[in-house]
Amino acid sequence: MKIILFQPQIPQNTGNIVRTCSATGAALILVRPLGFSTQNRHLKRAGLDYWEGVAIKEIDDLPAYLDAQKAPPFFFSSKATRPYAEAPFTTNSLLIFGSETAGLPPLFWERWPDRFYTIPMRDETRCLNLASSAAIVLYEALRQTHFALLSCKAALHDQLR
Protein backbone atom coordinates (compact mmCIF):
# COMPACT_ATOMS: atom_id res chain seq x y z
CA MET A 1 0.00 0.00 0.00
CA LYS A 2 1.25 3.47 -0.84
CA ILE A 3 0.30 6.92 0.35
CA ILE A 4 0.79 9.50 -2.37
CA LEU A 5 0.95 13.18 -1.46
CA PHE A 6 0.37 15.53 -4.38
CA GLN A 7 2.52 18.63 -3.90
CA PRO A 8 2.39 18.74 -0.09
CA GLN A 9 3.06 22.15 1.46
CA ILE A 10 3.46 21.67 5.20
CA PRO A 11 6.55 19.78 6.39
CA GLN A 12 5.05 18.75 9.72
CA ASN A 13 2.17 16.97 7.97
CA THR A 14 4.55 15.02 5.77
CA GLY A 15 6.72 14.17 8.77
CA ASN A 16 3.70 12.83 10.63
CA ILE A 17 2.70 10.77 7.60
CA VAL A 18 6.23 9.32 7.48
CA ARG A 19 5.67 8.20 11.05
CA THR A 20 2.34 6.59 10.12
CA CYS A 21 4.02 4.82 7.20
CA SER A 22 6.70 3.52 9.54
CA ALA A 23 4.08 2.11 11.92
CA THR A 24 2.16 0.40 9.12
CA GLY A 25 4.71 -0.58 6.49
CA ALA A 26 3.14 1.67 3.86
CA ALA A 27 5.36 3.35 1.28
CA LEU A 28 5.25 7.11 0.66
CA ILE A 29 5.33 8.84 -2.72
CA LEU A 30 5.83 12.62 -2.78
CA VAL A 31 4.83 14.45 -5.96
CA ARG A 32 6.96 17.51 -6.71
CA PRO A 33 7.09 20.41 -6.44
CA LEU A 34 7.07 20.20 -2.67
CA GLY A 35 6.41 23.25 -0.52
CA PHE A 36 9.52 22.46 1.53
CA SER A 37 12.85 20.69 1.37
CA THR A 38 12.96 17.09 2.52
CA GLN A 39 16.00 18.19 4.50
CA ASN A 40 13.82 20.65 6.46
CA ARG A 41 14.44 20.36 10.20
CA HIS A 42 10.70 20.57 10.99
CA LEU A 43 10.01 17.72 8.61
CA LYS A 44 12.78 15.60 10.12
CA ARG A 45 11.62 16.42 13.65
CA ALA A 46 8.02 15.47 12.90
CA GLY A 47 9.19 12.15 11.43
CA LEU A 48 11.82 11.75 14.16
CA ASP A 49 13.98 8.75 13.36
CA TYR A 50 11.40 7.02 11.15
CA TRP A 51 12.73 8.20 7.78
CA GLU A 52 15.21 5.36 7.34
CA GLY A 53 12.57 2.69 7.90
CA VAL A 54 10.13 4.00 5.28
CA ALA A 55 10.23 3.52 1.52
CA ILE A 56 10.01 7.11 0.22
CA LYS A 57 10.18 8.20 -3.40
CA GLU A 58 9.80 11.61 -5.05
CA ILE A 59 8.22 11.87 -8.51
CA ASP A 60 7.34 14.70 -10.90
CA ASP A 61 4.44 13.35 -12.96
CA LEU A 62 1.61 11.67 -11.04
CA PRO A 63 -0.58 10.78 -14.08
CA ALA A 64 2.37 9.04 -15.77
CA TYR A 65 3.20 7.25 -12.52
CA LEU A 66 -0.41 6.06 -12.14
CA ASP A 67 -0.52 4.89 -15.77
CA ALA A 68 2.49 2.67 -15.08
CA GLN A 69 0.89 1.07 -11.99
CA LYS A 70 -1.33 -1.98 -11.90
CA ALA A 71 -2.64 -1.06 -8.46
CA PRO A 72 -5.95 0.75 -8.08
CA PRO A 73 -5.77 4.50 -7.30
CA PHE A 74 -8.05 6.06 -4.73
CA PHE A 75 -8.29 9.84 -4.47
CA PHE A 76 -9.46 11.64 -1.33
CA SER A 77 -11.10 15.04 -1.22
CA SER A 78 -13.48 16.96 1.00
CA LYS A 79 -15.41 17.71 -2.22
CA ALA A 80 -16.14 14.04 -3.01
CA THR A 81 -19.43 12.45 -1.95
CA ARG A 82 -18.75 8.73 -1.39
CA PRO A 83 -17.41 7.81 2.06
CA TYR A 84 -13.90 6.39 2.19
CA ALA A 85 -15.14 3.23 3.94
CA GLU A 86 -16.94 2.26 0.71
CA ALA A 87 -13.70 2.13 -1.29
CA PRO A 88 -12.71 -1.47 -2.15
CA PHE A 89 -9.13 -1.35 -0.90
CA THR A 90 -6.53 -4.02 -1.67
CA THR A 91 -3.07 -4.57 -0.21
CA ASN A 92 -1.52 -2.70 -3.15
CA SER A 93 -3.90 0.28 -3.20
CA LEU A 94 -2.62 3.78 -3.98
CA LEU A 95 -4.06 6.33 -1.53
CA ILE A 96 -3.78 9.80 -3.08
CA PHE A 97 -4.17 13.08 -1.19
CA GLY A 98 -3.95 16.64 -2.55
CA SER A 99 -1.95 19.51 -1.16
CA GLU A 100 -3.11 21.24 1.99
CA THR A 101 -3.71 24.52 0.17
CA ALA A 102 -5.08 23.51 -3.23
CA GLY A 103 -6.27 19.91 -2.99
CA LEU A 104 -6.18 17.89 -6.20
CA PRO A 105 -6.34 19.62 -9.60
CA PRO A 106 -9.29 19.15 -11.99
CA LEU A 107 -7.23 16.84 -14.20
CA PHE A 108 -7.62 14.03 -11.66
CA TRP A 109 -11.35 14.64 -11.25
CA GLU A 110 -11.77 14.54 -15.04
CA ARG A 111 -9.67 11.43 -15.60
CA TRP A 112 -10.70 9.34 -12.58
CA PRO A 113 -14.13 10.68 -11.48
CA ASP A 114 -15.27 7.32 -10.12
CA ARG A 115 -12.19 6.94 -7.88
CA PHE A 116 -12.88 9.85 -5.48
CA TYR A 117 -13.87 9.40 -1.85
CA THR A 118 -14.29 11.62 1.19
CA ILE A 119 -14.01 11.39 4.95
CA PRO A 120 -17.46 12.41 6.24
CA MET A 121 -17.52 15.39 8.56
CA ARG A 122 -19.87 18.14 9.68
CA ASP A 123 -20.87 20.67 7.00
CA GLU A 124 -19.42 23.64 8.87
CA THR A 125 -15.96 22.04 8.93
CA ARG A 126 -13.73 22.98 6.00
CA CYS A 127 -11.50 19.89 6.09
CA LEU A 128 -9.36 17.64 8.26
CA ASN A 129 -5.60 17.91 8.65
CA LEU A 130 -3.71 16.05 5.89
CA ALA A 131 -1.81 13.80 8.31
CA SER A 132 -5.04 12.90 10.13
CA SER A 133 -6.81 12.18 6.85
CA ALA A 134 -4.01 9.94 5.60
CA ALA A 135 -4.03 7.97 8.87
CA ILE A 136 -7.81 7.55 8.88
CA VAL A 137 -7.88 6.25 5.30
CA LEU A 138 -4.78 4.08 5.65
CA TYR A 139 -6.13 2.33 8.71
CA GLU A 140 -9.47 1.69 6.99
CA ALA A 141 -7.57 0.18 4.05
CA LEU A 142 -5.56 -1.94 6.48
CA ARG A 143 -8.74 -3.04 8.25
CA GLN A 144 -10.35 -4.08 4.97
CA THR A 145 -7.28 -6.14 4.08
CA HIS A 146 -7.19 -7.76 7.55
CA PHE A 147 -4.04 -5.82 8.46
CA ALA A 148 -2.02 -8.01 6.07
CA LEU A 149 0.52 -5.25 5.47
CA LEU A 150 1.46 -5.18 9.14
CA SER A 151 2.71 -8.77 9.00
CA CYS A 152 4.30 -8.49 5.55
CA LYS A 153 8.09 -8.68 5.44
CA ALA A 154 8.44 -7.28 1.89
CA ALA A 155 11.69 -5.49 1.09
CA LEU A 156 11.49 -1.69 1.00
CA HIS A 157 12.56 -1.50 -2.64
CA ASP A 158 9.69 -3.80 -3.68
CA GLN A 159 7.18 -1.28 -2.33
CA LEU A 160 8.34 1.49 -4.64
CA ARG A 161 7.90 -0.27 -7.95
Instruction: Kindly report the CATH number that applies to the domain delimited by 2-159.
Output: 3.40.1280.10
d(CA 74, CA 122): 22
pTM for this one?
A: 0.90
Closest C-alpha to 93, from 80, 76, 77, 106: 76
Rounded to 5°, angle at Cα 6 from 60 and 157: 65
Domains of the chain by residue range:
2-159
**Rounded to an integer, what distance in angstroms lies between the CA atom of residue 73 and that of residue 108?**
11
Residue pLDDT tens, the chain, 161 long: 999 999 999 988 998 999 999 999 999 999 999 998 877 566 566 555 677 789 999 999 999 999 999 999 999 999 999 999 999 999 999 999 999 999 999 999 999 999 999 999 998 888 899 999 999 999 999 999 999 878 765 444 455 55
Distances (CA, A) of 105 to 18, 108, 134: 24, 6, 18
Angle at 132 between CA 129 and CA 136, to 5 degrees: 135
